[in-house]
Amino acid sequence: MLELSNNVSLADWEIEITQIRAQGAGGQNVNKVASAVHLRFDIRRSSLPLWYKECLLQLADQRITNEGVVVIKAQQYRTLELNKEDALKRLKDLILEAVRPVKARRPTRPTKGSQRRRVDKKTKHGQTKALRGKVDM
């Protein structure tokens, strides 16, 4: 069971975890041991609240397919248990990131001092460029 908050959790049957062989260099054991993890989580079939599902489906993330399935591949660690924990943690982080409210941006104005410095810099730069002209003799 994956706890997301005090009143929201995911049951084990909702998360499909399969073992796969890890890619890359690994020595003698790489072709014998399936220590990587492929996690699949179907958003539409899950028991998440409707608001959570909508936020997840609107999230622009390459780990979410067009069908609404989250696919996470974890192969960072050498043991299966650590890779499972890593995949579950990444799923939890993804869901919590999706439901986090976006902070509203308040427009600000530049200060008088910064405006004055910008104009002074522009005039100084213009004077420098004006001095680069041809010299008449």
Residue 115 binned pLDDT confidence (cut-offs 50, 70, 90): very high
Q: Which CATH architecture has domain 2-99?
A: 2-Layer Sandwich (3.30)
Across the range 7-26, mean pLDDT stands at 79
Q: Which residue has the higher pLDDT, 109 or 61?
A: 109
Q: Name the residue ranges covered by the structural domains of the chain.
A: 2-99
Whether pTM > 0.85 for this model: the answer is no
How many angstroms separate the first and last alpha carbons of the chain? Answer: 87
pLDDT > 80? residue 117: yes
The predicted pLDDT at position 25 comes to 67
- Crossing angle of helices 80-99/50-58, nearest 10°? 100
The predicted pLDDT at position 26 comes to 62
What is the distance between the alpha carbons of residues 58 and 102, in angstroms, rounded to a whole number?
Answer: 13
Distances (CA, A) of 77 to 16, 65, 81: 19, 25, 9
Outline where 3-136 has alpha helix (H).
Answer: 50-58, 80-99, 112-130
- Helix, strand, or coil here: 12? helix
- Helix, strand, or coil here: 111? coil
